Amino acid sequence: MKGLLTRCVTLALSLTVVLTGCGSNQGGSADAGGASGGSGPSGTSKVSMVYWPGPESDAMQKVVDAYNSGQGKTDGVNVEMVLLSRDGTYEKEAAMMSSKSDEVDMYFTASYIIGQHAPSLDALDGKVNTDGYLKSSVDSLRMNNETLAIPMDVSNHFLLYRKDLIDQLLSDSTWKSKYGEVSQKVLGQVLQPKDPKDWTWDDFIAAAAFFSQEYNPDSPTKYGTALQMKNLIFNVMIWDDFLWSNGGSWLDESGKPQLNSEAAKKAMGIYSTIYDGKMTSPNSTVAEYPETQAALQSGNAAFAVQWGAAYDELNDPERSPNIAGKIAVAPIPGEHKTHVHALGVGLNKYAKNKEAALKWMNYLTTKDAMQIYADGGGIPPIAEVLKGLGEKKPVLPLIAEHVDKYGYSTPIIAETQPIMLKLAEDLSGAWAGKVDINKALEKAQSDVSETLSK
């Protein structure tokens, strides 16, 4: 925290209201050169960049330090991070953007909100080279054919499963026979066990039932899987995998909503079948990342669609002593589509010091810079960097592979985040069977249409 205090820069007086929530830095002193782009006594240009406090800024500070003591001297540029509060960064940036402030040169952004940031960001095409990045991560920060930010961290989902249990299922004749009985009961057809990399959604449901004591009292896990059903936009991102991997999307090719599509009904049906069938904990209605992690760590669930960052923790003997070394990765069932979103930085359209900011942004896109970021704990979407750290962090090469092969981005429009909020509100009740699926999807269709028409 002390480091955060010393790094967080006090903005100009015109932004006093904005800065009242600047983490623990409310008493911080102003930098001699000011937070905004300008020139210091030696003629060095200063670039101020908003970043997200936490592990991401800890990693970025190492890149900033390396630049300021190296390439930055050649460029005549000195970079400072502006750390707002983790929970309120976007709200405070919105205040700056609405006033067309020039107090910072670069904004922190993300795929799910860049549509709202777009009017305040300069297009970077032709100014910054993003060829080295995984395509889906760059696409997730593009709108109207313009690149609005460079990606810094990438997130995706995996199907994480207990390899020891699946190996036994694939080799034990008694388990195979029981699997056939269970699949007949829940799906009306006898299925044979498969490797998770080849699962359809029927295989997902059948395996969830087999590893649930409701259908198989001898199951080593109480529940087959762990759904994340809390009313939360990050859980919509998980459900999106079920939608996209059934061939669906929020919008059709003309940009019209298609939340009442057959693919959407199938995605909803998988949730309700698993929840109503007691193949996931009844507490799944309030579950998100931590609860899913706990279900796997405790041995309470055999597999789950979970965020990629979970993998290393689940295989860490200190943090997951019951299951470490037993967790493996497979693509999302069905069409294997995995949600991808990126955190990134964009150039303030009203920045005072764009030339210097672009020098810094071009440095950020180099392999050397992103190697420093990854060594510091970041997850830069550059395949070469991620694959090179596999021995230290086994999940990183897997992220590079899955984002490259299976990654998709939800529609990047001004209404991306409002749509996610509507979907969370409209669909979460139906996930748990409290609302009819068709009524929930029609409500979502109507609400998304209204959102797009505003």
> What would the pLDDT profile of 250-306 be if each residue is shown by its tens digit?
999 999 999 999 999 999 999 999 999 999 999 999 999 999 999 999 999 999 999
For the chain, percent of residues with pLDDT exceeding 70? 91
DSSP notation for 187-206? HSS------GGG--HHHHHH
Residue 2 in this model has a pLDDT that exceeds 80:
no
Residue 432: per-residue pLDDT: 87
Residue 42: per-residue pLDDT: 64
Say which residue the tokens 């593009």 belong to: 142
On whether both 118 and 187 belong to a single domain, the answer is no
Residue 265 placed within a domain: yes
On whether both 239 and 209 belong to a single domain, the answer is yes
Return the structure tokens found at 193. 């066990």
Is the distance from CB of 149 to CB of 114 less than 8 angstroms? yes
Number of domains forming the structure of the chain: 2
| Residue 43's pLDDT band (cuts 50, 70, 90) | confident
pTM (2 d.p.):
0.86
Residue 35: per-residue pLDDT: 44
On whether both 164 and 261 belong to a single domain, the answer is yes
Per-residue pLDDT tens digits for 367-419: 999 999 999 999 999 999 999 999 999 999 999 999 999 999 999 999 999 99
On whether both 321 and 433 belong to a single domain, the answer is yes
Residue 41 in this model has a pLDDT that exceeds 90:
no
On whether both 251 and 262 belong to a single domain, the answer is yes
Return the structure tokens found at 248. 């669906």
Residue 12 placed within a domain: no
CATH number assigned to the domain comprising residue 223: 3.40.190.10
On whether both 179 and 292 belong to a single domain, the answer is yes
Say which residue the tokens 């992220």 belong to: 399
Residue 34 in this model has a pLDDT that exceeds 60:
no
CB atoms within 10 A of CB 78: 22
Domain that holds residue 278: 157-337+413-452
On whether both 161 and 245 belong to a single domain, the answer is yes
Residue 38 placed within a domain: no
Per the model's pLDDT, the better-predicted residue between 6 and 238 turns out to be: 238
Residue 32 in this model has a pLDDT that exceeds 70:
no
Rounded distance between C-alpha atoms, residue 209 and residue 277, angstroms:
8
**Within 13 Å and on the Cβ side, how many CA atoms surround 364?**
28
Of 374, 389, 408, the position where a domain reaches its end is 408
Residue 10 placed within a domain: no
* Nearest in space to 381 (alpha carbons), one of 409, 343, 331, 413: 343
Rounded distance between C-alpha atoms, residue 423 and residue 102, angstroms:
35
Residue 16 placed within a domain: no
Per-residue pLDDT tens digits for 153-166: 999 999 999 999 99
Rounded distance between C-alpha atoms, residue 112 and residue 419, angstroms:
10
Is the distance from CB of 235 to CB of 288 less than 8 angstroms? yes
Of 390, 408, 426, the position where a domain reaches its end is 408
Residue 29 placed within a domain: no
On whether both 307 and 386 belong to a single domain, the answer is no
Amino acid letter, 439: K
| Residue 85's pLDDT band (cuts 50, 70, 90) | confident
Residue 63 in this model has a pLDDT that exceeds 90:
yes
Residue 290 placed within a domain: yes
What is the helix, strand, coil percentage profile of the chain, to 5?
Answer: 45, 15, 40
Amino acid letter, 120: S
Residue 38: per-residue pLDDT: 52
On whether both 169 and 298 belong to a single domain, the answer is yes
Residue 31 in this model has a pLDDT that exceeds 50:
no
On whether both 58 and 166 belong to a single domain, the answer is no
Residue 236: per-residue pLDDT: 97
Residue 121 placed within a domain: yes
On whether both 180 and 209 belong to a single domain, the answer is yes
Give the mean pLDDT of the chain. Answer: 91
On whether both 113 and 216 belong to a single domain, the answer is no
DSSP notation for 382-451? -HHHHHHTTTT-THHHHHHHHHHHHEE----STTHHHHHHHHHHHHHHHHTTSS-HHHHHHHHHHHHHHH
Per the model's pLDDT, the better-predicted residue between 275 and 20 turns out to be: 275
